[in-house]
Structure 1
Amino acid sequence: MDNVKFRKIKKEIRILGIDDGPFDFRKDKKAIIIGVMFRGGSFMDGIMKREAEVDGKDITQTIIDMLKKTRHKDLRIIMLDGITYAGFNIANIKQIFKDTHIPVIVVVRKFPDFERIRNALKNFADFEERWKLIESAGKPKKVKVKSVDGRKGYLYIQKCGINLSDAKAIVKISTTRGLIPEPIRLAHIIASGIVLGESHGDA
Structure 2
Amino acid sequence: MKKHIRALGIDDSYFVPHIPGEVDLIGVVLRAPNYLEGMLRRKIGVDALDSTDSIIDMLNSKYGRQIKVVFLQGITFGGFNIVDIERIWREREVPVIVISRKNPDLRAIEYALRKHFEDWEYRMNLLRKHKIEMIQNGEFEIYVQRAGISMDEARRVISSFTLRGAIPEPLRVAHLIASALHFGESKGKP
TM-score by length of 2: 0.95
- Structure 1 residue identity aligned to 2:57: D
Q: Please list the CA deviations of residues 21-76 of structure 1 after superposition, one character each: whole Å capped at 9, or x if unmatched.
A: 11123655011000000112322111001110000010000100111123452110
Is this contact kept in 1: 2:18–2:47, CA < 8 A? no
Report the count of equivalent residues.
189
In structure 2, the gaps of 5 or more residues are none
Deviates more, 1:80-89 or 1:171-180: 171-180
Matched, 1:57 2:44: no
SS in 2 for 1:73: helix
Q: Please list the CA deviations of residues 74-93 of structure 1 after superposition, one character each: whole Å capped at 9, or x if unmatched.
A: 11001101110000000000
Matched, 1:103 2:90: no
Percent of paired sites with the same residue: 39
Matched, 1:131 2:115: no
1:137-148 to structure 2, matched below 5 A, reads 138-146=130-138
- Within 2, Cα distance between the matches of 1:195 and 1:70? 26
Matched, 1:174 2:165: no
Give the RMSD, CA atoms, in angstroms.
Answer: 1.3
Match of 1:78 in 2: 70
Match of 1:149 in 2: none
- Within 1, Cα distance between the matches of 2:14 and 2:188? 11
- Within 2, Cα distance between the matches of 1:27 and 1:141? 32
Question: CA, structure 1 residues 167+48, in 2 after alignment: closer, same or farther (shift >3 Å)?
Answer: same
Match of 1:44 in 2: 36
- Within 2, Cα distance between the matches of 1:116 and 1:45? 38
Match of 1:24 in 2: 16
SS in 1 for 2:189: coil
- Within 1, Cα distance between the matches of 2:80 and 2:110? 11
- Residue from 39, 63, 69 that aligns with 2:61: 69
Match of 1:34 in 2: 26
- Structure 2 residue identity aligned to 1:141: E
Matched, 1:165 2:152: yes
- Within 2, Cα distance between the matches of 1:84 and 1:159? 14
TM-score by length of 1: 0.89
Match of 2:6 in 1: 14
- Within 2, Cα distance between the matches of 1:81 and 1:170? 15
Match of 1:155 in 2: 142
Is this contact kept in 1: 2:161–2:168, CA < 8 A? yes
Match of 1:3 in 2: none
Deviation at 1:143, TM superposition (A): 1.8
SS in 1 for 2:103: coil
- Within 2, Cα distance between the matches of 1:119 and 1:182? 33
Match of 2:174 in 1: 187
